[in-house]
Structure 1
């Protein structure tokens, strides 16, 4: 499993619970944005320009890879990096994940949920217990987009995720097809070694 698959699978967990209810947007009129750029149908070129203007440091921008990686230079409190992933072919925004590292700070996820709630209102749904265990809070946004705050367990690092759910599903299918193709190539290469 490659790095993008690992990151994506963590992101997908947040939306697996949310997908059935996405049609019931929380009534918010504003589109989901990143540094002033609407995310629905945003292109890689548009977001690269937006992120450069916002002052994020480039860690990796490679058109051959599905995701770009940026160093967060204080634009989001507690965040260290931002991963922005795009669908293959049309290079449309799929999801962005801020990583907010934490070591045994079980309250960090609640602080992030509170900050997102201050902007978007209470989450559409929330699962888990802040004191111990995995936590997911999801805000359903207009146009089939969503915001999620997640924490796995026992790692207390928090993720803040912005997503276009249809594009995230497309991204998932593309990554799974690439992995299957790679496994088939590897099996052919190894021939009868086992």
Structure 2
């Protein structure tokens, strides 16, 4: 039985003579509104003593609960990985900006204003962050689609609010933090 849809998921075609020798049983599925189920199993047992009744809802409830738990676990894991990746990216970016202190000072000595240098750093950071988020987002989406559609045979529901927050928060953190780090370097070097 295809438990998700209630239909048959296989069939067997044999010659009638062979079929008469097989120990066959009959299988049927039907839907009943919840308010009409009272006493139904007892009536079926009286009319069909050898019949077994399986409530598909009772079978699917634990599976659905497991899938909800799995979804929560995967969402939490994804959030933790995103935060960890963001921390690594921010620290690597800040280290790179610190290594570029000589370049920043040279630009300042050649007449670039602090605003121009800050804008340069913000643009570079924005381009890098967009590239990283695009590649990471595509890879993550691909994994989710493979897991849910390919393995679990479940539809993918996109949580747009969480997705937008997951894209905007890193952008703001990276761009704002990089500009702040650049200003800090310019202030340190202005003292000399």
TM-score of the alignment, normalized to the shorter chain, above 0.5: no
More helix by share: 2
Structure exhibiting the larger radius of gyration computed from Cα positions:
2
TM-score normalized by the length of structure 2: 0.25
More strand by share: 1
TM-score normalized by the length of structure 1: 0.25
